[in-house]
Amino acid sequence: MFDIGQTIFQSLQPLGTEGLLLCVFLLFFIEAIVFPTLPELFAVIIFMVQPTVAFALLVLATIGAAEILGTSTLYFIIKKVRIPARIHSAADKYCDMLLVKNERIVLLNRVAPVLPFMGAFAAICNWDFQKVLAYTFIGGMIKYGTILAMSSLFFTYMSTGMAETVTMALVIGVIGISLTFSVIKNRKEGKALESG
């Protein structure tokens, strides 16, 4: 996953700002449709190339567009194909064991990623698509806006080397906390399913 992100980053970085934004777009789009690409890490690495407020806003806008388009693409693909009953049943069972069983899981997923392929689950579970998109956008702007705002503060008040180190520690911390919450939540929901 990191290798794919690194390959895309190295291929597009020579194109300047447009290449960096295309890299952000592709990583978040791929994450929404196919598999994780550690987009938080690359969003911050890309931001560190041009640590300005204007560039942070461009990165945030690109993230929002990529997540909306990725979620929508997967949603409409799943709506168009015939999902085998086995997969439909498995998705329903998985969603039933979650504490939050509707579109609001999109927001919770920002803290504890327990539901991958959000567009597919939205289509299979017949969630309100407008709410899914709204929560995707709002959650993304809050999460990545906070990360980039903190990174910007680090670059304003620290030396470049220190700011880069602290920013990377922040991102690794966010990923670690998210994974920890995800594991804890999955265990609690698994126990609840066993006892129910």
Q: What are phi and psi of 117, to 5 degrees?
A: 50, 55
Q: List pLDDT tens digits, range 124-176.
A: 989 999 999 999 999 999 999 998 888 888 877 767 777 677 777 777 777 67
Average pLDDT over residues 34-57: 85
Both tokens of residue 159?
């030396």
**How confident is the model at residue 169, as a pLDDT?**
78
User: Does residue 187 carry a pLDDT above 50?
Assistant: yes
Q: Percent of the chain at pLDDT above 70? A: 87
Average pLDDT over residues 18-47: 88
Cβ(74)–Cβ(32) below 8 Å: yes
Q: Is the pTM of this model over 0.85?
A: no
Cβ(51)–Cβ(127) below 8 Å: no
38 secondary structure, DSSP code: -
> How many alpha carbons fall within 13 Å on the CB side of residue 149?
6
**How confident is the model at residue 175, as a pLDDT?**
67
3-class secondary-structure state, position 35: coil
Both tokens of residue 61?
């806008």
**How confident is the model at residue 193, as a pLDDT?**
47
